[in-house]
Chain A
């Protein structure tokens, strides 16, 4: 299997090096490590990587330069997978991006949950999505008081959250220590309660759930 080529954009050198070593240990080929948004765009154009990991807050303005660079790259390379790292939760904008697929949005400290982080990165690299659990939780919270979400059972709500994070059925089953068939039936039940059509394609189901959550919130 060919090693995926990754570009890392992060202004703090220690964190940048840390992520790079993490990725290399996990079998990625880190082709560029940059410290600001302009360098990120230049590196992507030069290297044409398979996946981009970018901090949202970066020079030059130290506000949301990373997010704006990501939007620019998404416009130029619609299929380029991008994983954004953030200091704090910002829901609506990130969820809208995640719902398009090949996009991830994680809090930066998630990096320390190395397995989850690498799992999320590989999902994004394969065209899936990855939403930080905190973001999903706040989404579900804001939707949960009324409407169809209130009709879900607690277990179904857990499954919905994990789906929204972008995990596969197998990963959900492993996370909840359930049989994969049980997860399947929970998913079928919650999708019908929400009035969404079930499809066999895991990605498309996740995207439908995300779209539902953002539209409702």
Chain B
């Protein structure tokens, strides 16, 4: 990659030499030139300096060096001119005659920089490899012209220079074409940069036309200096701004606003003037009535006119913003009618505003984000956001809803799985306990029934033992069934949640502090609360090795609150499949809210509030 900052530095040094030469010549030899040369140095300095600044900031972009070249070339030309002027004077500089010949052919140097800028701005690269030819021509034509001037003088010299003059004109046209093509193909940021260039570049053809016209009409070339000076000052400033200020925020807005107000004032003045003249013809001039009515008319058209101008100018100066706003407005209507989903806002923004735009539903409030390449200002984005408030908020609400539904579905499937597990456990308990006992009992009775027939009478003692064993089987079956039923739903709950919890803690091998209000808790909250208490107590004993447990049941503003605290080692977690996760599902299925706080210092507190 080329280091254009080095080239710009070298050119700046050359410019310094040329400027010094000019000053020396005008001070020592031709004092009359001093003012003219000072102006020349003053107008070229911005180009040289800004070019170096741009090249230093963007060393791989040729634009900075070209900008410097613009100034340097002008300075070189004026330096040569100053040198040539000394020819014929008593203290003529050495070689002034020869330089005079050369200086006659160097004016094209002024155009090299602007032409190159037109061809290469703002990327520093030609549009395509073919356009490189035009870049080469920017150097070849002035050199050829100079050669023609040197080799042929007089009439012949005139004719020899014609092809190069034509070439220069063609190059001007080509560079304009290049600018137009590049503008069409660029994205928004580049266009913004190019618009800056366009402002000053329009001066180029104007300067050329003025020069040709002046020469044709008056045979003089005084305007050239003025036109070139304008061009040479305006160009580097606009190029420098375009290259260095990447985020040209507000430029379009300011420009559009200025134009809009100027047009508004002009239009209102016209309306007022026309009205005043027309009314004056009717009622005679200078009556207060005429002024009043004309003012009224102007005031009446003010607002509609302002709105009209705003839309018209915005559409021209800020087409992208206008397009986006109108598309978003249309989209909002479609959302309101239910024709599209609010989430498609992103698609609409991308389609009409490019990939730099994105919707952030996760933000509060939801926002639209635009990166610098989108070419939109912060104010534009704010405006878009306020237009798109409805779909944005809808998208947030829907995202929340989806999240909640997902959680509900997950909780539901956990509940179903837990219920399945429970059923399997009950089935197994029934099978291994009650069913097996009953089969065994049946067999025992059969045996008692059969044996007397086979072996005569059984001794009374043995019969008694057998019957005892049978009754024992029945008792064991009953107690198995009772335990099973208790697991499904503790029957003690029939006497109230407080009674059930009191009964439950009786089997806890440590004192439990109870503060239970006798509140009637409806199902399914009561069952959920009971299992919450049982699980929390179990955890406190098993995992947290607590020394103290406190259970409280009370009425609060939101409903009924059950809390279990311990002073154990904390570490309660709701990992999938853990007892607490199952409890949360139960509590939430009953419409309650569960909160768990657990730490090493304060122990664990599990609390549920049921409506």
- Stretch binding the partner chain, chosen from B205-213, B341-349, B434-442: B434-442
With A and B bound together, what is the CA distance between A200 and B485 in angstroms? 56
Asked if A153 is an interface residue, CB under 8 A from chain B, the answer is no
Q: Is the Cβ of A112 less than 8 Å from the Cβ of B446?
A: yes
**Can you list 25 A-B contacts (CB < 8 A)?**
A11-B432, A12-B439, A14-B436, A14-B440, A15-B436, A15-B440, A15-B443, A17-B440, A18-B444, A18-B447, A19-B443, A21-B447, A22-B446, A25-B447, A25-B450, A57-B431, A87-B431, A87-B435, A109-B442, A111-B442, A111-B443, A112-B439, A112-B443, A114-B446, A114-B450
Asked if A194 is an interface residue, CB under 8 A from chain B, the answer is no
Asked if A108 is an interface residue, CB under 8 A from chain B, the answer is yes
Asked if A62 is an interface residue, CB under 8 A from chain B, the answer is yes
Asked if B270 is an interface residue, CB under 8 A from chain A, the answer is no
Q: Is the Cβ of A15 less than 8 Å from the Cβ of B446?
A: no
Q: Within B418-459, which residues are at the interface with A (CB < 8 Å)?
A: 428, 431-432, 435-437, 439-440, 442-444, 446-447, 450-451, 454
Asked if B473 is an interface residue, CB under 8 A from chain A, the answer is yes
Binding site for A on B (CB under 8 A): 428, 431-432, 435-437, 439-440, 442-444, 446-447, 450-451, 454, 473
Q: How far is the CB of B426 from chain A (nearest CB, A)?
A: 14
List the 9 closest pairs (A to B, CB-CB), nearest first.
A14-B440, A12-B436, A18-B443, A112-B442, A18-B440, A114-B446, A15-B440, A15-B436, A15-B439
Write the A49-69 contact mask toward B (1 if CB under 8 angstroms, else 0).
000000001000010000000
Q: Is the Cβ of A18 less than 8 Å from the Cβ of B439?
A: yes
Which residues in B have their C-beta under 8 angstroms from that of A11? Answer: 432
Q: How far is the CB of B463 from chain A (nearest CB, A)?
A: 15
Q: How far is the CB of A85 from chain B (nearest CB, A)?
A: 10
Write the A95-128 contact mask toward B (1 if CB under 8 angstroms, else 0).
0000000000000110110100000000000000
Q: How many A-B residue pairs have CB under 8 A?
A: 47
Q: Is the Cβ of A22 less than 8 Å from the Cβ of B442?
A: no
Q: Is the Cβ of A12 less than 8 Å from the Cβ of B432?
A: yes
Q: How far is the CB of B477 from chain A (nearest CB, A)?
A: 10
Q: Is the Cβ of B451 less than 8 Å from the Cβ of A14?
A: no
Closest to B476 in A: A14
With A and B bound together, what is the CA distance between A57 and B454 in angstroms? 33
Which residues in B have their C-beta under 8 angstroms from that of A12? Answer: 432, 436, 439-440
Which residues in B have their C-beta under 8 angstroms from that of A87? Answer: 431, 435
With A and B bound together, what is the CA distance between A105 and B432 in angstroms? 20
Q: Is the Cβ of A25 less than 8 Å from the Cβ of B451?
A: yes
With A and B bound together, what is the CA distance between A49 and B112 in angstroms? 113
Which residues in A have their C-beta under 8 angstroms from that of B439? Answer: 12, 14-15, 18, 108-109, 111-112
With A and B bound together, what is the CA distance between A17 and B440 in angstroms? 8
Which residues in B have their C-beta under 8 angstroms from that of A108? Answer: 439
Which residues in A have their C-beta under 8 angstroms from that of B428? Answer: 62
Which residues in A have their C-beta under 8 angstroms from that of B473? Answer: 14
Which residues in A have their C-beta under 8 angstroms from that of B442? Answer: 109, 111-112
With A and B bound together, what is the CA distance between A22 and B449 in angstroms? 12
Which residues in A have their C-beta under 8 angstroms from that of B431? Answer: 57, 87
With A and B bound together, what is the CA distance between A111 and B428 in angstroms? 20
Closest to B437 in A: A14
Q: How far is the CB of A65 from chain B (nearest CB, A)?
A: 14
With A and B bound together, what is the CA distance between A12 and B473 in angstroms? 13
With A and B bound together, what is the CA distance between A87 and B436 in angstroms? 10
Write the A6-31 contact mask toward B (1 if CB under 8 angstroms, else 0).
00000110110111011001000000
Which residues in B have their C-beta under 8 angstroms from that of A17? Answer: 440
Which residues in A have their C-beta under 8 angstroms from that of B447? Answer: 18, 21-22, 25
Which residues in B have their C-beta under 8 angstroms from that of A112? Answer: 439, 442-443, 446
Q: How far is the CB of A112 from chain B (nearest CB, A)?
A: 4
Q: How far is the CB of B476 from chain A (nearest CB, A)?
A: 9
With A and B bound together, what is the CA distance between A11 and B439 in angstroms? 13
With A and B bound together, what is the CA distance between A45 and B437 in angstroms? 30
Other A-B pairs, 13, CB within 8 Å; known A14-B473, A87-B431, A111-B442 = A12-B436, A12-B439, A14-B440, A15-B436, A15-B443, A18-B439, A22-B443, A22-B446, A22-B447, A25-B447, A25-B454, A62-B428, A112-B446
Q: How far is the CB of B437 from chain A (nearest CB, A)?
A: 6
With A and B bound together, what is the CA distance between A25 and B435 in angstroms? 23
Which residues in A have their C-beta under 8 angstroms from that of B450? Answer: 25, 114
Which residues in B have their C-beta under 8 angstroms from that of A111? Answer: 439, 442-443
With A and B bound together, what is the CA distance between A138 and B437 in angstroms? 28
Q: How far is the CB of A193 from chain B (nearest CB, A)?
A: 39
Q: Within A62-101, which residues are at the interface with B (CB < 8 Å)?
A: 62, 87
With A and B bound together, what is the CA distance between A25 and B440 in angstroms? 15
With A and B bound together, what is the CA distance between A89 and B443 in angstroms? 21
Which residues in B have their C-beta under 8 angstroms from that of A25? Answer: 447, 450-451, 454
With A and B bound together, what is the CA distance between A18 and B451 in angstroms? 14
With A and B bound together, what is the CA distance between A112 and B446 in angstroms? 7
Q: How far is the CB of B441 from chain A (nearest CB, A)?
A: 8
Q: How far is the CB of B467 from chain A (nearest CB, A)?
A: 15
Which residues in A have their C-beta under 8 angstroms from that of B432? Answer: 11-12
With A and B bound together, what is the CA distance between A114 and B444 in angstroms? 11
With A and B bound together, what is the CA distance between A17 and B473 in angstroms? 13
With A and B bound together, what is the CA distance between A109 and B451 in angstroms? 20
Which residues in B have their C-beta under 8 angstroms from that of A14? Answer: 436-437, 439-440, 473
Q: How far is the CB of B288 from chain A (nearest CB, A)?
A: 108
Closest to B438 in A: A109
Q: How far is the CB of B379 from chain A (nearest CB, A)?
A: 70
Which residues in B have their C-beta under 8 angstroms from that of A15? Answer: 436, 439-440, 443
Closest to A114 in B: B446
Q: Within A31-59, which residues are at the interface with B (CB < 8 Å)?
A: 57
With A and B bound together, what is the CA distance between A132 and B379 in angstroms? 85
With A and B bound together, what is the CA distance between A87 and B473 in angstroms? 20
